[in-house]
Amino acid sequence: MPVIRSAFRPPYYIRNGHVQTILPVLLPRRIRLDYDRERLELTDGDFLELDWSRCNSRRLRLAIVTHGLEGGTNGGYIRGMVSAMNVAGWDALAWSFRGCGSELNRLVRFYHSGDTGDLGQVIKHAVARYDEVVLIGFSLGGNVTLKYLGESPTHAKIVAAAAISVPIDLTSSARALDQRLGNRLYLRRFITSLVAKVEAKARHYPEELNIEGARSIRSFQEFDDRYTAPIHGFRDAAEYWECSSARQYLARIQVPTLLINARNDPFLTQESFPIPEAESSGCFYLEAPESGGHVGFLDLKNGLQPWSERRVVEFLTMTCGPRD
Protein backbone atom coordinates (compact mmCIF):
# COMPACT_ATOMS: atom_id res chain seq x y z
CA MET A 1 0.00 0.00 0.00
CA PRO A 2 1.27 3.53 -0.63
CA VAL A 3 2.01 5.82 2.27
CA ILE A 4 -1.24 7.50 3.31
CA ARG A 5 -1.49 11.24 2.77
CA SER A 6 -2.52 12.49 6.18
CA ALA A 7 -5.43 14.85 6.77
CA PHE A 8 -4.13 15.95 10.18
CA ARG A 9 -3.74 19.74 10.21
CA PRO A 10 -3.41 21.33 13.66
CA PRO A 11 -3.65 25.08 14.15
CA TYR A 12 -0.37 26.83 13.38
CA TYR A 13 0.19 27.85 17.01
CA ILE A 14 0.38 24.23 18.26
CA ARG A 15 2.22 22.61 15.35
CA ASN A 16 5.59 22.42 17.10
CA GLY A 17 6.56 18.85 18.04
CA HIS A 18 7.36 19.64 21.67
CA VAL A 19 4.13 21.62 22.07
CA GLN A 20 2.16 18.67 20.67
CA THR A 21 3.99 16.28 23.01
CA ILE A 22 3.63 18.31 26.20
CA LEU A 23 0.23 19.98 25.79
CA PRO A 24 -1.85 16.81 26.42
CA VAL A 25 0.05 16.36 29.70
CA LEU A 26 -0.54 19.96 30.76
CA LEU A 27 -4.21 19.85 29.71
CA PRO A 28 -5.46 16.40 30.76
CA ARG A 29 -8.96 15.38 29.75
CA ARG A 30 -11.60 14.30 32.22
CA ILE A 31 -12.60 10.88 30.96
CA ARG A 32 -15.24 8.95 32.88
CA LEU A 33 -14.12 5.36 32.78
CA ASP A 34 -14.55 2.59 35.35
CA TYR A 35 -12.13 -0.29 34.91
CA ASP A 36 -12.84 -3.83 36.03
CA ARG A 37 -9.41 -5.02 37.17
CA GLU A 38 -8.19 -8.60 36.83
CA ARG A 39 -4.87 -10.16 37.79
CA LEU A 40 -3.41 -12.53 35.19
CA GLU A 41 -0.98 -15.10 36.58
CA LEU A 42 1.83 -15.82 34.11
CA THR A 43 3.52 -19.09 33.28
CA ASP A 44 6.81 -18.01 34.89
CA GLY A 45 5.24 -17.19 38.25
CA ASP A 46 4.84 -13.45 37.69
CA PHE A 47 1.61 -11.53 37.07
CA LEU A 48 0.06 -8.74 35.01
CA GLU A 49 -2.78 -6.34 35.78
CA LEU A 50 -5.57 -6.21 33.20
CA ASP A 51 -8.12 -3.38 33.16
CA TRP A 52 -11.36 -4.12 31.31
CA SER A 53 -13.88 -1.59 30.01
CA ARG A 54 -16.93 -3.24 28.46
CA CYS A 55 -19.63 -1.57 26.40
CA ASN A 56 -22.02 -4.56 26.10
CA SER A 57 -22.19 -4.45 22.33
CA ARG A 58 -23.97 -7.29 20.57
CA ARG A 59 -20.93 -7.78 18.34
CA LEU A 60 -18.26 -9.66 20.29
CA ARG A 61 -15.29 -7.43 19.55
CA LEU A 62 -12.29 -6.57 21.72
CA ALA A 63 -9.54 -3.96 21.49
CA ILE A 64 -6.35 -4.73 23.43
CA VAL A 65 -4.51 -1.49 24.24
CA THR A 66 -0.81 -1.37 25.19
CA HIS A 67 0.87 1.64 26.83
CA GLY A 68 4.31 3.18 26.36
CA LEU A 69 7.53 3.39 28.38
CA GLU A 70 6.83 3.85 32.11
CA GLY A 71 3.17 4.39 31.34
CA GLY A 72 0.11 2.58 32.61
CA THR A 73 -3.57 2.02 32.08
CA ASN A 74 -4.53 5.28 33.77
CA GLY A 75 -2.53 7.42 31.37
CA GLY A 76 -4.69 9.96 29.56
CA TYR A 77 -3.88 8.61 26.11
CA ILE A 78 -4.80 5.05 27.18
CA ARG A 79 -8.06 6.06 28.85
CA GLY A 80 -8.90 8.19 25.83
CA MET A 81 -8.38 5.35 23.38
CA VAL A 82 -10.27 2.87 25.56
CA SER A 83 -13.21 5.30 25.76
CA ALA A 84 -13.13 5.93 22.00
CA MET A 85 -13.20 2.20 21.28
CA ASN A 86 -16.10 1.71 23.69
CA VAL A 87 -18.08 4.43 21.91
CA ALA A 88 -17.32 2.69 18.61
CA GLY A 89 -18.80 -0.55 19.94
CA TRP A 90 -15.69 -2.40 21.13
CA ASP A 91 -14.96 -3.82 24.55
CA ALA A 92 -11.47 -2.74 25.55
CA LEU A 93 -8.69 -4.28 27.60
CA ALA A 94 -5.83 -2.05 28.72
CA TRP A 95 -2.99 -3.91 30.38
CA SER A 96 0.09 -2.85 32.33
CA PHE A 97 3.59 -4.13 31.63
CA ARG A 98 5.30 -5.90 34.52
CA GLY A 99 5.97 -3.40 37.27
CA CYS A 100 3.83 -0.66 35.69
CA GLY A 101 0.63 -1.48 37.51
CA SER A 102 -0.43 -0.76 41.08
CA GLU A 103 2.38 -2.85 42.57
CA LEU A 104 5.83 -4.12 41.69
CA ASN A 105 5.98 -7.42 39.86
CA ARG A 106 7.44 -10.49 41.60
CA LEU A 107 10.45 -11.43 39.51
CA VAL A 108 13.77 -9.63 39.08
CA ARG A 109 12.94 -9.00 35.42
CA PHE A 110 10.51 -6.29 34.36
CA TYR A 111 9.60 -5.37 30.73
CA HIS A 112 11.36 -4.19 27.60
CA SER A 113 10.69 -2.87 24.11
CA GLY A 114 10.80 -6.24 22.37
CA ASP A 115 9.06 -8.45 24.90
CA THR A 116 6.10 -9.89 23.00
CA GLY A 117 5.65 -12.91 25.24
CA ASP A 118 3.48 -11.14 27.79
CA LEU A 119 1.29 -9.62 25.07
CA GLY A 120 0.86 -13.12 23.69
CA GLN A 121 -0.30 -14.39 27.08
CA VAL A 122 -2.73 -11.48 27.43
CA ILE A 123 -4.20 -12.23 24.01
CA LYS A 124 -4.52 -15.95 24.72
CA HIS A 125 -6.28 -15.23 28.00
CA ALA A 126 -8.60 -12.52 26.72
CA VAL A 127 -9.93 -13.72 23.38
CA ALA A 128 -12.07 -16.68 24.41
CA ARG A 129 -15.46 -14.94 24.30
CA TYR A 130 -14.72 -12.68 21.31
CA ASP A 131 -15.07 -13.14 17.57
CA GLU A 132 -12.79 -10.28 16.53
CA VAL A 133 -9.78 -8.75 18.26
CA VAL A 134 -7.73 -5.68 17.35
CA LEU A 135 -4.44 -4.52 18.86
CA ILE A 136 -3.58 -0.87 19.58
CA GLY A 137 -0.16 0.16 20.87
CA PHE A 138 1.49 3.44 21.81
CA SER A 139 5.22 4.23 21.63
CA LEU A 140 7.10 1.31 23.26
CA GLY A 141 3.81 -0.59 23.37
CA GLY A 142 3.44 0.07 19.65
CA ASN A 143 6.84 -1.47 19.01
CA VAL A 144 5.81 -4.54 21.02
CA THR A 145 2.53 -4.72 19.09
CA LEU A 146 4.13 -4.46 15.64
CA LYS A 147 6.86 -6.95 16.54
CA TYR A 148 4.24 -9.40 17.79
CA LEU A 149 2.29 -9.09 14.55
CA GLY A 150 5.30 -9.78 12.36
CA GLU A 151 7.58 -12.17 14.20
CA SER A 152 5.32 -15.26 14.13
CA PRO A 153 1.77 -16.28 13.19
CA THR A 154 -0.67 -14.26 15.28
CA HIS A 155 -3.75 -15.51 17.06
CA ALA A 156 -6.45 -16.32 14.50
CA LYS A 157 -8.96 -13.88 16.02
CA ILE A 158 -6.75 -10.82 15.49
CA VAL A 159 -8.17 -8.97 12.50
CA ALA A 160 -6.44 -5.55 12.53
CA ALA A 161 -4.09 -3.28 14.46
CA ALA A 162 -2.93 0.29 14.92
CA ALA A 163 0.22 1.77 16.43
CA ILE A 164 0.90 5.39 17.35
CA SER A 165 4.22 7.24 17.78
CA VAL A 166 6.38 4.15 17.58
CA PRO A 167 10.21 4.05 17.71
CA ILE A 168 10.44 1.05 15.41
CA ASP A 169 14.23 1.56 15.16
CA LEU A 170 15.27 1.53 18.81
CA THR A 171 18.92 2.37 18.23
CA SER A 172 18.23 5.66 16.47
CA SER A 173 15.48 6.64 18.91
CA ALA A 174 17.66 5.92 21.93
CA ARG A 175 20.36 8.10 20.37
CA ALA A 176 17.82 10.85 19.71
CA LEU A 177 16.71 10.84 23.33
CA ASP A 178 20.25 10.64 24.65
CA GLN A 179 21.82 13.27 22.41
CA ARG A 180 19.27 15.87 21.31
CA LEU A 181 19.37 18.89 23.62
CA GLY A 182 15.63 19.41 23.20
CA ASN A 183 14.95 15.95 24.63
CA ARG A 184 16.69 16.39 27.97
CA LEU A 185 13.43 16.93 29.87
CA TYR A 186 11.93 13.67 28.55
CA LEU A 187 15.18 11.77 29.09
CA ARG A 188 15.48 12.91 32.69
CA ARG A 189 11.90 11.90 33.49
CA PHE A 190 12.30 8.45 31.93
CA ILE A 191 15.65 7.70 33.56
CA THR A 192 14.50 8.92 36.98
CA SER A 193 11.47 6.63 36.82
CA LEU A 194 13.44 3.62 35.57
CA VAL A 195 16.19 3.99 38.17
CA ALA A 196 13.59 4.28 40.95
CA LYS A 197 12.07 1.03 39.73
CA VAL A 198 15.45 -0.74 39.78
CA GLU A 199 16.12 0.56 43.29
CA ALA A 200 12.78 -0.83 44.44
CA LYS A 201 13.63 -4.16 42.82
CA ALA A 202 17.04 -4.23 44.47
CA ARG A 203 15.42 -4.30 47.92
CA HIS A 204 14.00 -7.71 46.97
CA TYR A 205 16.95 -8.89 44.87
CA PRO A 206 20.10 -7.33 46.40
CA GLU A 207 22.40 -10.01 44.98
CA GLU A 208 21.10 -9.71 41.41
CA LEU A 209 20.90 -5.91 41.18
CA ASN A 210 23.78 -3.63 42.02
CA ILE A 211 22.44 -0.11 42.41
CA GLU A 212 25.67 1.57 43.44
CA GLY A 213 25.96 4.71 41.32
CA ALA A 214 22.60 4.10 39.62
CA ARG A 215 21.48 7.67 40.22
CA SER A 216 24.40 8.93 38.17
CA ILE A 217 22.98 7.30 35.01
CA ARG A 218 22.22 9.97 32.43
CA SER A 219 21.34 8.07 29.24
CA PHE A 220 19.44 5.11 27.84
CA GLN A 221 22.78 3.75 26.65
CA GLU A 222 23.98 3.55 30.25
CA PHE A 223 20.72 2.24 31.68
CA ASP A 224 20.16 -0.42 29.03
CA ASP A 225 23.80 -1.56 29.15
CA ARG A 226 23.72 -1.88 32.92
CA TYR A 227 20.20 -3.17 33.56
CA THR A 228 17.75 -3.82 30.68
CA ALA A 229 20.11 -5.89 28.53
CA PRO A 230 21.63 -8.25 31.14
CA ILE A 231 18.38 -8.72 33.08
CA HIS A 232 16.60 -9.85 29.91
CA GLY A 233 19.33 -11.95 28.34
CA PHE A 234 21.00 -9.55 25.90
CA ARG A 235 24.76 -8.95 25.63
CA ASP A 236 24.48 -5.19 25.80
CA ALA A 237 22.26 -2.26 24.83
CA ALA A 238 23.27 -2.52 21.17
CA GLU A 239 22.13 -6.14 20.91
CA TYR A 240 18.95 -5.39 22.85
CA TRP A 241 18.02 -2.51 20.54
CA GLU A 242 18.85 -4.47 17.38
CA CYS A 243 16.92 -7.60 18.35
CA SER A 244 13.91 -5.75 19.75
CA SER A 245 13.24 -3.21 16.97
CA ALA A 246 9.97 -3.85 15.16
CA ARG A 247 11.01 -2.49 11.77
CA GLN A 248 12.61 -5.77 10.70
CA TYR A 249 9.24 -7.55 11.17
CA LEU A 250 6.92 -5.16 9.33
CA ALA A 251 7.09 -6.96 5.98
CA ARG A 252 5.65 -10.10 7.58
CA ILE A 253 2.51 -8.50 9.01
CA GLN A 254 -0.57 -10.29 7.65
CA VAL A 255 -3.48 -8.23 9.04
CA PRO A 256 -4.43 -4.62 8.16
CA THR A 257 -2.19 -2.46 10.34
CA LEU A 258 -1.85 1.31 10.57
CA LEU A 259 1.27 3.07 11.89
CA ILE A 260 0.90 6.78 12.67
CA ASN A 261 4.23 8.56 13.23
CA ALA A 262 4.51 12.34 13.19
CA ARG A 263 7.39 13.86 11.25
CA ASN A 264 8.14 16.23 14.12
CA ASP A 265 8.07 13.59 16.86
CA PRO A 266 11.09 14.50 19.03
CA PHE A 267 11.69 10.82 19.87
CA LEU A 268 11.94 9.63 16.27
CA THR A 269 14.46 9.79 13.44
CA GLN A 270 14.12 9.01 9.75
CA GLU A 271 14.66 5.31 10.53
CA SER A 272 11.22 5.17 12.13
CA PHE A 273 9.42 6.06 8.89
CA PRO A 274 9.27 2.73 6.98
CA ILE A 275 8.22 3.98 3.59
CA PRO A 276 9.62 1.03 1.55
CA GLU A 277 7.85 -1.49 3.78
CA ALA A 278 4.52 0.32 3.44
CA GLU A 279 4.86 0.66 -0.33
CA SER A 280 5.53 -3.05 -0.79
CA SER A 281 3.01 -4.43 1.70
CA GLY A 282 -0.58 -5.42 1.16
CA CYS A 283 -1.40 -5.01 4.86
CA PHE A 284 0.88 -2.42 6.44
CA TYR A 285 -0.09 1.26 6.18
CA LEU A 286 2.09 4.22 7.16
CA GLU A 287 0.59 7.64 7.87
CA ALA A 288 3.18 10.32 8.64
CA PRO A 289 1.63 13.76 9.24
CA GLU A 290 4.02 16.69 9.40
CA SER A 291 2.95 17.53 12.94
CA GLY A 292 1.72 15.59 15.96
CA GLY A 293 4.69 15.28 18.29
CA HIS A 294 4.92 12.15 20.44
CA VAL A 295 1.45 10.80 21.31
CA GLY A 296 0.06 14.29 20.79
CA PHE A 297 -1.97 14.90 17.62
CA LEU A 298 -4.12 17.70 19.02
CA ASP A 299 -6.12 19.70 16.48
CA LEU A 300 -8.77 21.14 18.88
CA LYS A 301 -11.56 20.13 16.49
CA ASN A 302 -13.22 18.03 19.16
CA GLY A 303 -12.02 19.69 22.34
CA LEU A 304 -8.93 17.99 23.72
CA GLN A 305 -9.60 14.65 22.01
CA PRO A 306 -6.56 13.91 19.83
CA TRP A 307 -7.03 13.32 16.13
CA SER A 308 -5.19 9.99 16.47
CA GLU A 309 -8.09 8.49 18.43
CA ARG A 310 -10.56 9.44 15.73
CA ARG A 311 -8.19 8.22 13.02
CA VAL A 312 -7.67 4.81 14.65
CA VAL A 313 -11.42 4.33 15.08
CA GLU A 314 -11.90 5.34 11.44
CA PHE A 315 -9.27 2.87 10.24
CA LEU A 316 -10.64 -0.01 12.33
CA THR A 317 -14.21 0.77 11.27
CA MET A 318 -13.13 0.75 7.64
CA THR A 319 -11.38 -2.58 8.20
CA CYS A 320 -13.81 -4.36 10.52
CA GLY A 321 -17.12 -2.59 9.93
CA PRO A 322 -19.19 -0.27 12.18
CA ARG A 323 -20.78 -1.13 15.50
CA ASP A 324 -24.14 -2.93 15.71
Q: Which of 115, 294, 299, 308 is catalytic?
A: 294
HEC readout, the chain: CCCECCCCCCCHHHCCHHHHHHHHHHCCCCCCCCCEEEEEECCCCCEEEEEEECCCCCCCEEEEEECCCCCCCCCHHHHHHHHHHHHCCCEEEEEECCCCCCCCCCCCCCCCCCCCHHHHHHHHHHHHHCCEEEEEEECHHHHHHHHHHHHCCCCCCEEEEEEECCCCCHHHHHHHHHHCHHHHHHHHHHHHHHHHHHHHHHCCCCCCCCCCCHHHCCCHHHHHHHHHHHHCCCCCHHHHHHHHCHHHHHHHCCCCEEEECCCCCCCCCHHHCCHHHHHHCCCEEEECCCCCCCCCCCCCEEEECCHHHHHHHHHHHHHHCCCC
Q: Which of 265, 272, 291, 299 is catalytic?
A: 265
To the query of whether residue 265 is one of the catalytic residues in this protein, the response is yes
- Active-site option among 83, 96, 139, 291: 139
Catalytic (active site) residue 204: no
Annotation says 294 is catalytic: yes
Catalytic positions, please?
A: 139, 265, 294
